[in-house]
Structure 1
Amino acid sequence: MVEPPDDRIARRLAEIREQERELDRQDAERDAAARDPAAAVVRRTGGALRSFLFLAGVLVLAASLLGVAVTLNRLAGYDMADARREGQATVSSCVPHGPITNRGFGYWESCEVEVTWAGGGVEHLTVGAVFTSADIGATIRVGDLGNYRSSRKLARADVPDRPWLSWLGYAAGALAIPPGFVGVLLLRETLRRRRK
């Protein structure tokens, strides 16, 4: 049986009016929730914890990648061919450092050495991440690569340089840039919201 067109139109108009009343009711609920500051704070509490954990994770990822980059560059060693002069180093004592330091991850030692240079002269140095406790009392041929910051860089003749480790370190450092940038932006946004 077919309904007359007037009944279908009337029924459809009633459905549309009911949908409009439902949408109006939802808008009123949203407006009431927006005016209630306590409801907004309750909604943000769970989000704040998630945001903090995400921010902490991003910053830890960036710091970890930087640590890996520094570690790989430390392990790469130096090339004796780049040395300005050569000499004989005698290790007298070593102090261990680690597991997490400004030279990356893992344990390394800074050692007191006496270097007798081939051109003459004796120098007492504290050198990090070149010698180990196993070298105490031994005489090792070294090359002077100059000063870096406040310490002398030395290359060991008995340890080959591994430039591929340096390249891997540079790649890890480059991978640390995006999460570091995102972490800084997230931290800035978090601090900006707290001020408001």
Structure 2
Amino acid sequence: MTDEDRAAYRKRRMAELLAEAEADVTRTRAAKQEPATEAGPVVEVKRSKWLTNLVGIIILLALSFVLIATSMTIGRFTGHDFADARRTGTATVEQCERRGPISLDGFGYYDQCTVTIAWNNGPSSRVLIDKPGFFKGEKPGDTLQIGEHTGSRGSIGYSRPELPDRGWVTAIGIALWIIGALPLMAVLFYLREIFRDLIRRQT
């Protein structure tokens, strides 16, 4: 092999090495750029999952509200047993305020009235009765029979003969309330897990 052949071989070998080095650099740059190109789809997937979870939470909360409000509405068709009242009297309606149609007390309108009660065995009293379904469209000046009941922790309730105690109505209302509380509990459990996950990531 002559000196010219050796020089030509060295040039070819140098060119091959340079080509390999350039190829390595190109592959390295491409590998570094791959995560950046894949970040877009990952972000979109996370955003889509977050929106799906948010919609699910809203649906569960709406379902819980509808069921609980329905149970409260059913509760308007039952009351204390008038025969069990500790005292009875005659109530005169002074003024009423219309409430509803959608509230934590259920669906539909109901009246909240201030009445003066002349008890059969005691002095008169003036009270505000806001139990949904208690009044049946009475106007100021109308009178009605009323009974007074004591509840737990000193609470006071009222009854009237037209709104008797219906145990089966109470049972249906309680069952719906319990069913309505389940979606709410699921949402609270889910949010608790999210907060726990955030705390773990920060520690």
TM-score normalised over the length of structure 1:
0.72
* Rounded Cα–Cα distance in structure 1 between residues aligned with 2:76 and 2:147: 17
Q: Which residue of 2 aligns with 1:176?
A: 180
* 1:65 pairs with one of 49, 58, 67: 67
User: How far apart are 1:120 and its partner, in Å?
Assistant: 2.1
CA separation of 1:33/1:81 partners in 2, compared to 1, >3 Å: closer, same or farther? farther
Unpaired stretches in structure 1, ≥5 consecutive residues: 1-31
* 1:81 pairs with one of 76, 80, 83: 83
* Rounded Cα–Cα distance in structure 1 between residues aligned with 2:95 and 2:137: 7
Query: How many residues end up aligned between the 2 structures?
Result: 165
Unpaired stretches in structure 2, ≥5 consecutive residues: 1-33
Is 2:157 the partner of 1:144? no
Could you tell me whether the CA contact under 8 Å between 2:96 and 2:139 is conserved in 1? no
* Rounded Cα–Cα distance in structure 1 between residues aligned with 2:127 and 2:151: 11
* Rounded Cα–Cα distance in structure 1 between residues aligned with 2:98 and 2:79: 18
Q: Which residue of 2 aligns with 1:165?
A: 169
Could you tell me whether the CA contact under 8 Å between 2:93 and 2:138 is conserved in 1? no
* 2:96 pairs with one of 94, 97, 122: 94
* Rounded Cα–Cα distance in structure 1 between residues aligned with 2:161 and 2:175: 27
Residue identity in the other structure for 1:157: P
CA separation of 1:115/1:148 partners in 2, compared to 1, >3 Å: closer, same or farther? farther
* 1:45 pairs with one of 23, 44, 47: 47
* Rounded Cα–Cα distance in structure 2 between residues aligned with 1:152 and 1:96: 22
CA separation of 1:159/1:135 partners in 2, compared to 1, >3 Å: closer, same or farther? farther
Could you tell me whether the CA contact under 8 Å between 1:99 and 1:107 is conserved in 2? yes
User: How far apart are 1:132 and its partner, in Å?
Assistant: 4.3
Residue identity in the other structure for 1:54: G
User: How far apart are 1:35 and its partner, in Å?
Assistant: 9.9
Moved more, 140-149 or 115-124: 140-149
Could you tell me whether the CA contact under 8 Å between 1:76 and 1:164 is conserved in 2? no
TM-score normalised over the length of structure 2:
0.70
Q: Which residue of 2 aligns with 1:153?
A: 157
RMSD (Å) for aligned C-alpha atoms: 2.7
Between the aligned residues of both structures, percent identity stands at 30
Write out per-residue CA displacement over residues 117-167 of structure 1, whole angstroms, 9 at most, x where no aligned residue: 110210001111322443432221111013678974210123333222111
